[in-house]
Amino acid sequence: MTQSLASDITTGPNQGDFDYSQKRIDDASSQLQVPLKTIDLSVGFSHSTILNEISLSFPKGTITALVGPTGCGKSTFLRTLNRMNDHVRGFWHKGSVVLDDVNIYDKSVDPLVLRRNVGMVFQRPNPFPMSIKDNVVSGVKAHKLAKRKDLLAIAESQLKEVGLYDAIADRMDDSPFRLSGGQQQLLCLARALAVGPEVLLLDEPTASLDPVSTSSVESLISALVPKLTIVIVTHNLAQARRIAQHAAFFFNGELVEHGLAAQVLEDPEHETTAQFVTGRMG
């Protein structure tokens, strides 16, 4: 298992509490918790291979940013982490994705329960065609996590958690489609958080938002750690620098480099990563 955490990054003086080096990993593993990791994960559709032997771990209670040029496979990787690709025709995978010591592609794993534990928020806000309140508790209802009479209270507390409640307190029964894009995305975050996931996958959550909404979504994401483990795909390097503790750089389906965000994004080891983070390639 520890092999998956191995990387060729050497220990530097500026590194934080998480250490990627092979030598230190055994000592650190007692304090260090890794709820989610992939081991030699290869993914593809039909005859094509999208991702090639990715081994990556996501330390508990931190934000990991996946960066890389368009088409490098980072979104596919993210969607493999909660089996969203199962619905895509021709999807295949090799290797494993381990959540709390269980391979999520094991036959005994129910993808519906998995997705409760590994939530996801998408690039575009995608509220359901029902009232704002019903949107927030739709997952709670689907998994029968609460009694009917408690639903309103749950919806309110979740909306308060994402900081949306004050703006829409008197519109709980209205359509969510009249909210602004940023508010809709916060609503989708509240909906994903309501089922109590331990890992949250964010697929470019601010790509379709204006700067003000982006900053409110970002500050919410930052506030969610260390309670949650967050994996965020982003095209916005500045955003990755602002919120992520760890970063992984993908290029052409390969994991080129991963480690602390400060290192990968500011002082990368590999030439391709350097080209990307300095803007010479994008």
Distance CA(86)–CA(155), nearest Å, equals 30
Which among 12, 1, 88 is positioned nearest to 48, based on CA atoms? 88
Tell me how many residues contact other proteins (CB under 8 A).
33
Q: Is 102 in the site for other proteins (CB under 8 A)?
A: no
- Which residues within the stretch 66-85 sit at the binding site for other proteins (CB under 8 A)? 82, 84
Instruction: Choose which of 47, 89, 144, 148 interacts with other proteins (CB under 8 A).
Output: 89
Q: Is 195 in the site for other proteins (CB under 8 A)?
A: yes
Stretch that binds other proteins, among 60-68, 105-113, 224-232, 243-251 (CB under 8 A): 105-113
Least distance (Å) between residue 40 CB and other proteins: 25
Burial 88-119 (b: 16+ CB within 10 A, else e): eeebebebbbbbeeeebbeeeeeeeebbbbbb
Overall size of the chain counted in residues: 282
Q: Are strands 246-251 and 254-260 parallel, antiparallel or unpaired?
A: antiparallel
Least distance (Å) between residue 238 CB and other proteins: 25
141/242 with CB nearer other proteins: 141
151/195 with CB nearer other proteins: 195
222 and 243 Cβ atoms separated by less than 8 Å: yes
Q: Is 113 in the site for other proteins (CB under 8 A)?
A: yes
Name residues whose C-beta falls within 8 Å of residue 173's C-beta, 6 or more positions apart in sequence.
Answer: 131, 132, 133
Query: Which residues make up the interface to other proteins (CB under 8 A)?
Result: 82, 84, 87, 89, 111-116, 119-120, 122-131, 138-139, 142-143, 175, 177, 184, 188, 191-192, 195
